[in-house]
């Protein structure tokens, strides 16, 4: 192997001789076989007694640009390949795939290939050696099955799940594995809109959800969801007007739907829940109940203790990274509600995603950014008009930046598409407000 650019390492002398029969003299064998399993820690050179032969041959192994690991196909042989690659550098290691020796069995090593298939087959094995896998480094072909499924639309949600509002579907659809940040000034209906969206998605495709809604009492949240589902008021009260209250039978049917469709994350202790605690329970809900969506509402109700040397910006970045990894790993869409900071000299216009209290990372790291804004000016149109502002859409397949307008039914909590005339009036008033603020 002196001055060889390619070196083959096998597990025994008979395998070394088999390689020579196939025309490979640049081959060496390890002296004392394979370990039972891969060691937990890699010892330093002075204490690496079992693999001292590698260090003794360092001057011959270092110049090699390619080292082909042709160890046995059994578990100890694969463990040996991993131990060798860890010491020699995985970036220059290759591994062989042993062929079948008959219809049911694979060859175990170089000698079996030579005996059953001949020297030409053994040469083809070496020529067909593949790059040794490095954790975290991939080729696109490693993902071809996933890409094929995406192209063929196997899962059915590749183009996103419709929201239930046609005026919104051109701007935003829900994709498993993405993170949507929702913001808006207080009392603009962020939580109500998310609840309505979840009800629409559940009605269309049966998704289940887990809710970590820390500002809602369970009974109040149940009422809101039931009203949207049954389309009748929960109580016979003033807010219901002349609309008939949901019947006892409708109420009982609604409770069954509620129990089947939604699961709750509730912190019953005095302390605030941490993001790790929430995500661990959400993981359990995904695995146990098959939920497809998680709502965390709101950010400021989480425990935000952080190390003294960590800034809030770094902390927010860390939280969002954890949420995105959870969403991607479990193919679960996450809606995360975050309040804007106090707006000084606010004119009533929709806030920006950069107005969220804490960090610009909220818009930088999310897949989708939504501002929920409610009209509060009777001169600008009905006060039940809700403006859904898509401020960021990372995936062009499912949407684009723009505004959709809905009307809020206070009796049932439903959202419906606003009439074109109402939308035109609201937009005209907003343009007038912007013009006035610029003049100031």
Structural domain boundaries in the chain: 6-136, 159-438
Summarize pLDDT for 14-50 with one digit per residue, the tens.
Answer: 999 999 999 999 999 999 889 989 988 888 888 888 9
**Amino acid 195: pLDDT:** 98
Whether the predicted pLDDT of 433 surpasses 70: no
Question: With a threshold of 0.85, does the pTM exceed it?
Answer: no
**Amino acid 321: pLDDT:** 97
Q: In Å, what is the CA distance from 230 to each residue of 166, 190, 246, 410?
A: 21, 21, 7, 14
Rounded distance, CA 192 to CA 278, Å? Answer: 21
Provide mean pLDDT across the span 196-225. 97
Whether the predicted pLDDT of 438 surpasses 80: no
User: Chain-centre distance of CA 369, in angstroms?
Assistant: 16
- 385 forms beta bridges with 407
Q: In Å, what is the CA distance from 121 to each residue of 107, 115, 169?
A: 11, 10, 57
Summarize pLDDT for 353-390 with one digit per residue, the tens.
Answer: 988 988 789 999 999 999 999 977 777 667 889 999 99
Q: How confident is the model at residue 221 (pLDDT cuts 50, 70, 90)?
A: very high
How, if at all, do strands 293-297 and 209-213 pair? parallel
Among 183, 163, 172, smallest CA distance to 372 is for 183
| In contact, 227 and 412? CB cutoff 8 Å | yes
Whether the predicted pLDDT of 440 surpasses 60: no
**Amino acid 343: pLDDT:** 74
Buried/exposed 253-270: b ≥16 CB within 10 Å, e otherwise: ebeebeeebbbebebeee
Summarize pLDDT for 269-298 with one digit per residue, the tens.
Answer: 778 899 999 999 999 999 999 999 999 999
- 416 forms beta bridges with 407
Summarize pLDDT for 135-193 with one digit per residue, the tens.
Answer: 999 999 999 999 999 999 999 999 999 999 999 999 999 999 999 999 999 999 999 99
- What's the chain's average pLDDT? 93
**Amino acid 421: pLDDT:** 84
Write the CATH number of the domain with boundaries 6-136: 3.40.1360.10
Rounded distance, CA 320 to CA 307, Å? Answer: 17
Q: How confident is the model at residue 436 (pLDDT cuts 50, 70, 90)?
A: low
What whole-number percentage of the chain has pLDDT above 90?
78
How, if at all, do strands 415-417 and 402-408 pair? antiparallel
User: Chain-centre distance of CA 46, in angstroms?
Assistant: 43
Summarize pLDDT for 73-88 with one digit per residue, the tens.
Answer: 999 999 999 999 999 9
**Amino acid 432: pLDDT:** 74
Whether the predicted pLDDT of 125 surpasses 90: yes
Whether the predicted pLDDT of 429 surpasses 90: no
Q: How confident is the model at residue 435 (pLDDT cuts 50, 70, 90)?
A: low
Q: Class of the 159-438 domain?
A: alpha beta
Backbone φ and ψ of 20, nearest 5°: -65, -35
Provide mean pLDDT across the span 229-257. 96
Summarize pLDDT for 305-363 with one digit per residue, the tens.
Answer: 888 999 989 999 999 999 999 999 999 999 999 999 877 777 778 888 988 988 789 99
Whether the predicted pLDDT of 107 surpasses 60: yes
| In contact, 101 and 116? CB cutoff 8 Å | yes
């Amino acid at each position: 192997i002196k001055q060889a650019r390619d070196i083959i390492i096998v597990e025994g002398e008979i395998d070394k001789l088999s390689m020579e029969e196939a025309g490979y003299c640049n081959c060496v064998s390890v002296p004392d076989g394979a370990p039972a399993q891969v060691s937990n820690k890699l010892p330093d050179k002075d204490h690496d007694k079992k693999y001292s032969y590698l260090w003794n041959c360092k001057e011959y192994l270092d110049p090699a640009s390619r080292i082909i690991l042709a160890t046995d196909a059994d578990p100890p042989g694969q463990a040996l390949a991993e131990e060798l690659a860890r010491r020699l550098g995985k970036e220059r290691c290759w591994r062989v795939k042993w062929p079948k020796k008959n219809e049911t069995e694979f060859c175990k090593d170089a000698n079996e290939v030579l005996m059953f298939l001949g020297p030409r087959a053994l040469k083809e094995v070496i020529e067909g050696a593949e790059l040794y896998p490095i954790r975290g480094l991939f080729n696109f072909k490693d993902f071809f099955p996933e890409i094929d499924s995406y192209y063929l639309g196997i899962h059915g949600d590749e183009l996103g799940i419709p929201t239930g509002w046609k005026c919104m579907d051109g701007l935003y659809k829900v994709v498993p594995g993405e993170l949507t940040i929702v913001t808006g000034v207080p009392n603009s209906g962020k939580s109500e809109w998310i609840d309505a969206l979840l009800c629409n998605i559940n009605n269309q495709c049966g998704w289940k959800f887990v809710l970590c809604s820390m500002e809602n009492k369970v009974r109040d949240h149940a009422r809101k969801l039931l009203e949207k589902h049954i389309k009748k008021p929960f109580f016979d009260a003033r807010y219901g007007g002349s609309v008939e209250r949901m019947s006892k039978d409708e109420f009982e049917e609604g409770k069954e739907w509620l129990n089947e469709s939604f699961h709750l994350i509730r912190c019953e202790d005095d302390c605030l829940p941490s993001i790790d605690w929430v995500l661990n329970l959400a993981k359990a809900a995904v695995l146990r109940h098959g939920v497809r969506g998680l709502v965390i509402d709101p950010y400021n109700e989480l425990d935000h203790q952080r190390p003294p040397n960590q800034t809030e910006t770094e902390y927010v970045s860390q939280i969002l990274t954890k949420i995105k990894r959870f969403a991607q790993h479990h193919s679960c869409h996450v809606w995360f509600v975050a309040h804007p900071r106090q707006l000084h000299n606010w004119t009533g216009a929709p806030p920006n995603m950069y107005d969220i209290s804490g960090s610009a990372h909220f818009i930088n790291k999310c897949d989708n950014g939504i501002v929920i804004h409610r009209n509060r000016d009777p001169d600008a149109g009905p006060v039940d008009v809700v403006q859904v502002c898509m401020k960021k859409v990372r995936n062009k397949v499912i949407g684009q930046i723009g505004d959709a307008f809905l009307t809020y039914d206070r009796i049932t909590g439903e959202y419906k598409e606003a009439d074109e005339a109402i939308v035109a009036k609201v937009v005209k008033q907003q343009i007038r407000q912007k013009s006035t603020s610029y003049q100031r």
